[in-house]
Structure 1
């Protein structure tokens, strides 16, 4: 049963992550023709397009994709505990699903910044993957860079963003006494 639990968690996490990335790419107006953007759009279109006909966007925000991500997050905390012999609690699943969306968004931001940091040491010159990662992280890192400018060519904004993300994670963790076991 552990294998089924693992595979279900992986599937839900992958779908939710792709949906979050889709919204994020739209919000930052990332390059639509980049292979990563194309992949995310093509993989999520079968789920998103039917809902877009019912749920319109608002102020440039793809509400349909956010709703679908929330539904999948809620399903994750309904289906997996039920299959593991736990009770069916839709209210708790909705609560944990919402918290999971916030946590997963922070985790994806963290991963983008880690990849950017490693690539900055390895890649020289123009790289399209680095460009899209910069587009994704710029809205978060730009305000931090205004407060903490690069010192001696070293960009400390990523470290400050890591600290802020960890503080946010700890703050959200206070709302769930057994946070580490859920996520």
Structure 2
């Protein structure tokens, strides 16, 4: 067993999952251990809500510019910050969603609040998700597998027609690096958008 602690974060490495779980149980008896996703839900009073999928409602055919800027008592920027921390640590499934929602932190409209609320409700149903790293991808194969997948939509942003790139790097089937980000230039074809995404994934 190899436990590693940095400030208030920790990780345990080992071959026996049952032993790892036993160590966690003993640590919980002596220390306050909090699952960050559950802490976020408590912070925004979403602990008793019904879980929802998917975490984001697509824009559809309108870009929402004509919506009234209704004041809603909700800390939008703070919620995005909490979701960004989760995204960067252990939740690649939130990549596109949080990247999209963070574009509206300056002037969120009603639809943006609803999207963040939906993301938090998605989190309610997936708060126990975790990354699990294995020494090898399968029992029959002892070799190390490093795989990279990348993709891009084409001109799906209705405000500026820019594309969004995404990639994920897998080590023996588990993600070690991921990103979803709007491209800095406007691609003039789906091929160009895919090429930009592939270039970003190799940096």
- Say whether the fold is shared (TM-score over 0.5): no
Q: Which has the larger radius of gyration?
A: 2
Which TM-score applies when normalising by structure 2? Answer: 0.26
Q: Specify which structure has the bigger relative contact order, considering alpha-carbon pairs within 8 angstroms and separated by 6 or more residues.
A: 1
Structure number having the greater helix percentage: 1
